[in-house]
Amino acid sequence: MKIIRTIQEMKQHASKLKKQGQAIGFVPTMGYLHEGHQQLMSKARQENDILIVSIFVNPLQFGPNEDFERYPRDEQRDIKTAEYNQVDVLFIPEKADMYPSPRSISLHVLRRSNVLCGRSREGHFEGVVTVLSKLFNITLPDKVYFGMKDAQQVAVVDALINDLNYPIEIIPVSTVRELDGLAKSSRNVYLSDQERDEANNIYKALQFGLKLVVDGEKNPDNIVQEVKDFILSNTHGKIDYVELLSYPELTPITSINEQVILATAVHFERARLIDNVVFNGQGSVSERI
């Protein structure tokens, strides 16, 4: 495995690979790699000649009261995980290289960003599309892989690729879960024992909402309220949101007749957890973009 720490070297290496006709699969991460990241790597490894993984905790996507400084980091562990997953190139740039001076250009997300996490995390998706635009230009991928745990991010990246005509295919990958259903997340380490015991009820609440659709409920408001009640009855967490929207457009709906996303974010004392299910009008799980 080759470890690259500068943009210049990464660009040169990616250009060489492209000239050789190598298909590049790219997995952008913020490190502290877990089973969810490994599933992305596994799929990318299967589908491409070269697997590039980046590790960069992007300051632009953290708000003033969010956890940038204490976001978990363990570079040596990440290097071992990348090696185990047969990564060809591990790109670990420094902040000073990625953002060497105040930006002259700002990317603003006009759609798909003012709902779900975007509503309470002002500027978050601007930070996401900014760093991804840079990483796409640096690593030159043919395919890029994202987990559906953050389905809003997948929708925003899909829009970024389409609107700016990147020659990249986005590959959504199903959420990796613990045995009790809790979505894998780097932030799960912040949960107390009691919170960890309760946190699996977030996914149970979404499954309950999905069952309502399967049983014939088509009113989004009724489903959202039932999911909220389930979370409040089974956890001590504070609900940030529960929303039911079209997917990937992320627009309001009045009835469930198309592919939709039922998503939630719940605050515990030291961690904010997100989860979702994407399904069609009949209640069949479907993660198409």
The answer to whether 204 is annotated as binding is no
The distance between the two most distant Cα atoms of the chain, rounded to a whole number of Å, is 57
**CA contacts within 13 A on the Cβ side of 134:** 23
The answer to whether 99 is annotated as binding is no
The answer to whether 31 is annotated as binding is yes
The answer to whether 33 is annotated as binding is yes
The answer to whether 32 is annotated as binding is yes
How far, CA to CA in Å, does 211 sit from each of 15, 255, 285?
Answer: 49, 16, 11
The answer to whether 187 is annotated as binding is yes
The answer to whether 84 is annotated as binding is no
In DSSP terms, 95 is beta-bridged to none
Q: Which two tokens stand for residue 256?
A: 């469930």
The answer to whether 20 is annotated as binding is no
Helix ranges (H only) for the chain are: 7-19, 35-47, 75-84, 95-98, 116-120, 124-139, 151-163, 193-214, 220-234
**CA contacts within 13 A on the Cβ side of 120:** 14
Contact between 170 and 161 under an 8 Å Cβ cutoff? The reply is yes
Q: Of 177, 170, 135, give the one whose Cα is nearest residue 153.
A: 170
How far, CA to CA in Å, does 20 sit from each of 17, 73, 141, 217, 260?
Answer: 5, 34, 14, 54, 41
Active-site residue, from 37, 108, 124, 267: 37
Is 37 a residue of the active site?
Answer: yes
The answer to whether 181 is annotated as binding is no
The answer to whether 124 is annotated as binding is no
The answer to whether 21 is annotated as binding is no
The answer to whether 238 is annotated as binding is no
Contact between 51 and 41 under an 8 Å Cβ cutoff? The reply is yes
Amino acid residing at 46: Q
The answer to whether 98 is annotated as binding is no
The answer to whether 288 is annotated as binding is no
Q: Of 80, 21, 88, 23, give the one whose Cα is nearest residue 53.
A: 88
The answer to whether 34 is annotated as binding is yes
Residues 6 or more apart from 195 whose CB is under 8 A from it? Answer: 235, 236, 237, 268, 269, 271
CA distance 212 to 20: 52
**Binding-site residues:** 30-37, 61, 147-150, 153, 176, 184-187
Active site residues: 37
Known binding site for ATP: residues? 30-37, 147-150, 176, 184-187
Q: From the annotation, which residues make up the binding site for beta-alanine? A: 61
Binding-site residues from annotation for (R)-pantoate: 61, 153
